[in-house]
Structure 1
Amino acid sequence: MAVAGRATELLWTRAKVLVWGRLSALSLVDQGLISGSGFILNLLLARWLPAETYGAFAVAFAVFLFASGFHNVLLLEPMSVFGPASYADRLRDYFQSQLKVHAVLAGTLSGLILLSAVALKAYGLRTPLTGALMGSGIALPFLLLLWLARRMCYVVQSPFSAVMGSVFYFVAMVAGLVALRQRGMLNPFTAFLLVAAASTLASALLLYQHGIFGPGSEPQGSLGWREVIRENWGYGRWLVASTALYAACSQTQTFLTAGLLGLGLAGVLRAMQMPSLVMTQMVVASGLLVMPSMSRDFGLGRIAHLRRKATLTSAALAAIALVYAAALFVAASPIERVLFGGKYASFAWLIPLLGLMPLCTGFATGYSMALRASQRPQFDLLANSVSAPMAVVSAVLFIRWWGIGGAAASTVLGFAAYAAVFFLSYRARPWDCRGMARNGD
């Protein structure tokens, strides 16, 4: 009986591993599709539009990314935590309430962006940035709705549905871009409208699958959206400052380049970042995969295991990113020709410099995930509190001294400071695990 029980346990464990492996693979595919959509969108616009026009899109896209960070910490993250834990028996009502929260939050963020576009127009500034910001403000609620619908798929443990929504969005967006270009209608405003349309269709597909609307979608309980928004705020308010600081660290250079050097060079800076952003996305995805294992080690008091995983993760990701950066250094000019057809050939030297960004991110990942797994999120705020001022001050100085090269150097410096704080915090943290044995296994 004992042997049979042990065999059953092993089979059950293997089955769980296979299930979670499949879910993780689907999650990576989904994230790859969404990240790939953004990459293709920026790549094609950088190739097809004049540098100044693409620069306007790049600035407006940076504004969107800044705003989306608040949506993430005030809606997506709380929903991922509280949905399966507190509302598993009435998820449809909970999702409908979160949609109302989304309407309020995304509507507010969208309104602020649209007001900035109106202000530019009111001041009589003739710049493509006005239309780009207008398009960004219109697209924001719809693209964030797609992110919300995809996150719902993960709450109900159905990443395959998220993949289907992402595939639909990817195909619709790429087809729309080609159609707009063939008709001579492609510009930042119409590109954002296309994003809004593709997001709306993909979101409708996913929300219908979740039963959010359609037959039988009437609320079954008394769950109010105000109750949900209070819960979201209670969770996410501590992350708002960190989100704003991280955005300052990563987006300031784009804004200052546009203001000090012009929209054209802001577009160049964004275009030269694209190869490094590919590796950065891979590093971030790898870190998210290893974090649950670290959390389990911390909960069981296996601190030696957790520390070993943190060191190995950071070392491995940094080594991979270093090889990638070396490849960018060797092949910067050919990469620029493949991606942009020689349009930015005189700026290809920026590609390997910006390739140091994922190296810094990779080095920080293992240590940052270990600190988060040990329930110490304050170190994330500390890292951003140090890196953001350094990035802002260095951007102002470096851009004035060295132009666009200074903007790239400032970006790398900000990420290097971010990595250094995590490493030093990890080394200095007392790993007592609340009284558990220091090397308990």
Structure 2
Amino acid sequence: MDLRPQPPCHGGGRRGARPVRQPSSLLARLRGPALLSLLDQGAVSGFGFLSGIAAARLVDMEAFGRFALVLIVASVAQAVHNALVTAPLMTLAGSARSPARYASAVVAGAVVLAAILALGVAGALSLYFAARGEAVPLDLVTAAGALTLAQNLQLTARRLLFVSDSGGAALVMDLSRAAAFPVAVAILWALGIPLDAVRLVDLLALTALAATLPVLVPRAVEPGRRTVAAAALRHWQMARWLLPVVLVTFGQEQLVWILAGASLGDEALGGLRAAQYLVGIVLLMLTATENVVPTGAGRAYDTGGEAALRAYLVGVTRRLGLPVGLLLVVMAVPADLWLRLVFGAPYVPYAPCLRWLALGVVFIFLRDMVGQIFRARRRTDVIFRAFAVSLPVSLALIQPLLARYGATGAAAAVAIGHGASLLALLAALARTKTPPATPAQSPSPRPEEGSPRC
């Protein structure tokens, strides 16, 4: 599935204008960065999916709920890290005057931020357990901090490898981590060491660090204060609207899971997380396009203006919409069957949660496609405002739905929140006037107006 903008037409020798043909050989396709991105995201998300299933099978439902809680809070920290470090990196790396010095500045900033976020996760979990009137599990809290540090460093290493055209190395790094975790679990099992949430989180952290350090250590050179300051300023200029989006989306999803765990117990949180793992198969497809679609949309807008941007995104939506919709139907209709087969009979009562979350993925897909328009226009502030408008909807619905419908109400609150943000973004798009195209962005003539069709 090629999600890149179509290449322009060029003159072709004595026979006149001919379209540029893309290499069709399998070898050429396998060397493409888009496929490497897809494979790497498949390795990362597939590992997350399989490790979650393994955790659910290896420990009881309550312990799995605690394991899920750690991953939820750590994912918030990773979203903050992505907004401040890795998302701007993907845009700014191509224009860096000295790629090596810029990479070293990114590594230095990433290490500091990852350490701060690790402490934040440990503190947040301590407050969570204290608020429930429980003793703070220091071993679990410490493991959660270590996992946060390790995963954020791994995310940074992955993005640095991709921007330096070393996607294959990123794939090797992520596959090595994915292979090391089950080996470590098998060793503990063979030694008769009992597995619980703490040991599973510890293993996730250790395998992430072991895979990441060989990539980051060679880049950990002194970048100079001026380089770090300049990189931080440029990152902040992009992140100042992305970071608030992280905060408002936290209120739409992760906060719901945390409140569900606090009010319904760890078992309910485990059931919700199991349902989320299954729809995560579809989210994998959407996440895998993140290294391709934003770049393609931005290139289409810069070279062809608003018309080219919309044509590109309509094409992407059509090509992705069918497989996404088909997978969601296959997942949602026999939801109880999938939960029983994958996680076991105790998770079957959470089938309605899976159906609500599948509906939420539909909203996420459509929202992402609309959001690409504003990202290509460099108007991420509009995306933030759309999320900010929908946030009160989620906050108003969380407690009533939890109180009346339990875990199903929590899943419904998440889906409705995603739907509200989609509607808010569509309303913003309808209100926004199309920006006038600059000469460099003027749309090219349509095929019927004189240019050959590519």
Q: 5 Å matches for 1:234-313? A: 234-286=237-289, 288-313=291-316
Q: 1:20 to 1:36 in 2, by over 3 A?
A: closer
CA distance in 2, matches of 1:248, 1:113: 16
CA distance in 2, matches of 1:309, 1:4: 29
Relative to the length of structure 2, the TM-score reads 0.85
What are the ranges of 5 or more consecutive residues in structure 1 without an aligned counterpart?
none
- Specify which of 12, 31, 45 is matched with residue 35 of structure 1: 45
User: Is 2:209 the partner of 1:204?
Assistant: no
How far off is 1:20 after superposition?
Answer: 9.5
Q: 1:127 to 1:349 in 2, by over 3 A?
A: farther
Instruction: Kindly indicate whether the alpha-carbon contact (under 8 Å) linking 1:111 and 1:137 is maintained by their aligned counterparts in 2.
Output: yes
Instruction: Kindly indicate whether the alpha-carbon contact (under 8 Å) linking 1:117 and 1:134 is maintained by their aligned counterparts in 2.
Output: no
User: Is 2:169 the partner of 1:165?
Assistant: no
Instruction: Kindly indicate whether the alpha-carbon contact (under 8 Å) linking 1:257 and 1:266 is maintained by their aligned counterparts in 2.
Output: yes
Aligned to 1:225: 228
Aligned to 2:452: none
Aligned to 1:45: 55
Aligned to 1:373: 376
Instruction: Kindly indicate whether the alpha-carbon contact (under 8 Å) linking 1:121 and 1:130 is maintained by their aligned counterparts in 2.
Output: no
Instruction: Kindly indicate whether the alpha-carbon contact (under 8 Å) linking 2:353 and 2:412 is maintained by their aligned counterparts in 1.
Output: no
CA distance in 2, matches of 1:125, 1:258: 14
Q: What code does the residue aligned with 2:379 have?
A: R
Higher deviation after alignment, 170-179 or 62-71 = 170-179
Note the alpha carbon deviations across 1:32-84, whole angstroms, 9 max, x for none. 11111211221111222111111111112111111111111111123223333
Q: 1:173 to 1:7 in 2, by over 3 A?
A: farther
Aligned to 2:112: 104
The 3-state SS of whatever aligns with 1:69 is helix
Q: 1:39 to 1:302 in 2, by over 3 A?
A: same
Higher deviation after alignment, 119-128 or 162-171 = 119-128
Instruction: Kindly indicate whether the alpha-carbon contact (under 8 Å) linking 1:246 and 1:384 is maintained by their aligned counterparts in 2.
Output: yes
Q: What code does the residue aligned with 2:421 have?
A: Y
Note the alpha carbon deviations across 1:148-188, whole angstroms, 9 max, x for none. 11111012111001001011111012222333344343222
**Count of equivalent residues:** 432
Aligned to 1:94: 102
How far off is 1:4 after superposition?
Answer: 4.7
Aligned to 1:136: 144
Note the alpha carbon deviations across 1:104-127, whole angstroms, 9 max, x for none. 211111112223455567789546
The 3-state SS of whatever aligns with 2:253 is helix
CA distance in 2, matches of 1:212, 1:432: 41
Aligned to 2:83: 73
Q: What code does the residue aligned with 2:51 have?
A: L
User: Is 2:191 the partner of 1:188?
Assistant: no
CA distance in 2, matches of 1:44, 1:412: 26
- Specify which of 18, 24, 38 is matched with residue 34 of structure 2: 24
Q: 1:319 to 1:25 in 2, by over 3 A?
A: closer
The 3-state SS of whatever aligns with 2:345 is coil
The 3-state SS of whatever aligns with 2:195 is coil
Instruction: Kindly indicate whether the alpha-carbon contact (under 8 Å) linking 1:314 and 1:367 is maintained by their aligned counterparts in 2.
Output: no
Identity of aligned residues (%): 21
- Specify which of 408, 423, 426 is matched with residue 423 of structure 1: 426
How far off is 1:365 after superposition?
Answer: 2.8
Cα RMSD (Å): 3.2
What are the ranges of 5 or more consecutive residues in structure 2 without an aligned counterpart?
1-10, 447-454
CA distance in 2, matches of 1:142, 1:6: 58
How far off is 1:255 after superposition?
Answer: 0.7
Q: 1:7 to 1:107 in 2, by over 3 A?
A: farther
CA distance in 2, matches of 1:425, 1:175: 49
How far off is 1:229 after superposition?
Answer: 2.8
How far off is 1:129 after superposition?
Answer: 6.2
Q: 1:344 to 1:205 in 2, by over 3 A?
A: same
